[in-house]
Structure formats: C-alpha cells, structure tokens
C-alpha cells in the first residue's frame, strides 16, 4: 500500500480545522498525487476517484450529457432533496441516502458503502451532496479507507488538501474518521450488518424482526 508523505501537512491542517477560521481548500497542492481523485469538470466540482466512482457537487440537467459520456449508471444523493427534478428522464438509477456529518454514525457509513458497492457492480457511480465537500468528502474518505485499504492519514490528506471546497466544512468528518474503528466497519460490511454495534437502533430493529418472524404461532 502506498503512503502519501504529507503527515506534517495533515497535522497542521487538523490543528487549523479544530482551532479556528479556515483557509480555502481549493488552493490544492500544485503537484497533485496521482492516487487522489482527479478533476473532471470544475463547474460541478466533479472528480474521478476510480474508473467506477465519481464525486461532485449537486449536478443539474446540463450535467446529463457529461454523466452519459462517463457512463454513470447510478447517482447517490446525500441531500434530503430528491434528484428527480433533474434526473428522472435520464434512465440513471437514483439512490437517496441523506445524512449530516454532525450526526453521522457507523450505520450511515455502512449504508452508503454498501450502496456504492452494489451500484458499482452495474457500472460507474456518482455520489454528491450540495457542494461536493463535506458529506461527499467524508464518504469518499471512508470508501478509501474501508474498501480501498488506504490509511486514515492518506484519506484525510486527500479530503482536506484535495481542493474540493472550504475546509471549514470538514471538522465533523475529521472527528468521525479519527474515532472510527475501520476493522469493525470492514467486518460489518462483509457480514451484511447494518452497524458495528448490536445496540444500534437498526441492529435492535433487525433482531426484533428476526425474533418475531421465527416465533411459533400460539394455538
């Protein structure tokens, strides 16, 4: 596994993010690591993370020709508003998984990563939020770490220094990533679990439904 040697820059970035006003992350490094997401279309903050995964800000009808050119088959939306107003006539699959970075938990991350993996099996995927920086940035970083095997250091460097938007939006995502148990997330993803904790709301609900379904009928 490669390691991007930007740890000093990462430390400074984390300190700045947690301490006060931020510089704009659009001032990305002049020498962009080739492993980082590569720019495709500045207007939509659209970047290619891999041949089957893209990230962006909120697209519109004018972006459809570009998405067709990229052969995008699924759009995953992290906003509470549907994409139907601009995407419904395109034939592209719509997946809506709204969440907020200041309330994110392992269940949110697992739901998104599982949706990406399922959609990637059918072709390229685009995930987006409003600006393509905080919500999309966190899920991009978690994809890098949980699925692609990057270190947290490498993923955080890309998230904060990649030029995706105002770095003041990254505070909550950084806090979540720093405490996330990656091994537990990988295990839960592989096992089809909805969370890493048996006490999570979705886990309790799943257990209750299983018990109810297997309970013999009384006579």
Here the tokens at position 35 are: 């492993």
Angle at 175 between CA 173 and CA 176, to 5 degrees: 65
- For residue 38, name the pLDDT band (cuts at 50, 70, 90): very high
- Do 150 and 3 contact (CB within 8 A), yes or no? no
Here the tokens at position 171 are: 């505070």
User: What does DSSP say about strands 93-96 and 38-41: parallel, antiparallel, or unpaired?
Assistant: unpaired
Residue-level pLDDT at 150: 98
Cα 151 to Cα 137: distance, rounded to the nearest angstrom: 15
- For residue 45, name the pLDDT band (cuts at 50, 70, 90): very high
Using a 10 angstrom Cβ sphere, with 0-12 exposed, 13-18 middle and 19 or more buried, the burial of residue 7 is: middle
pLDDT, tens only, 67-97: 999 999 999 999 999 999 999 888 999 999 9
Cα 81 to Cα 85: distance, rounded to the nearest angstrom: 10
User: Could you give all domains of the chain from N- to C-terminal order, each with its CATH number?
Assistant: 7-214 (3.90.190.10)
DSSP 63: G
pLDDT, tens only, 118-169: 999 999 999 999 999 999 999 999 999 999 999 999 999 999 999 999 877 7
Residue-level pLDDT at 168: 78
């Amino acid at each position: 596994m490669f390691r991007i040697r930007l740890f000093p820059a990462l430390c400074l970035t984390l300190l700045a993010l947690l301490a006060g006003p931020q510089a704009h992350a659009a001032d990305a490094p002049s020498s962009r690591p080739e492993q980082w997401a590569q720019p495709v279309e500045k207007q939509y903050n659209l970047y290619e993370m891999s041949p089957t995964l893209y990230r962006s800000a909120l697209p519109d009808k004018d972006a459809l020709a570009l998405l067709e050119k990229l052969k995008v088959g699924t759009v995953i939306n992290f906003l509470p508003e549907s994409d139907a107003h601009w995407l419904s006539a395109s034939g592209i699959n719509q997946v809506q998984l709204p969440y907020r970075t200041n309330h994110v938990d392992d269940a949110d991350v697992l739901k998104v990563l599982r949706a990406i993996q399922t959609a990637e099996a059918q072709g390229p995927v685009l995930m987006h939020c409003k600006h393509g920086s905080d919500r999309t940035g966190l899920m991009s970083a978690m994809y890098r770490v949980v699925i692609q095997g990057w270190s947290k250091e490498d993923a955080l460097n890309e998230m904060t220094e990649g030029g995706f938007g105002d770095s003041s939006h990254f505070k909550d995502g950084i806090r979540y990533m720093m405490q996330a148990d990656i091994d537990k997330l990988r295990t839960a993803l592989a096992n089809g679990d909805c969370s890493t904790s048996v006490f999570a709301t979705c886990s309790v609900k799943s257990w209750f439904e299983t018990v109810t379904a297997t309970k013999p009928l009384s006579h």
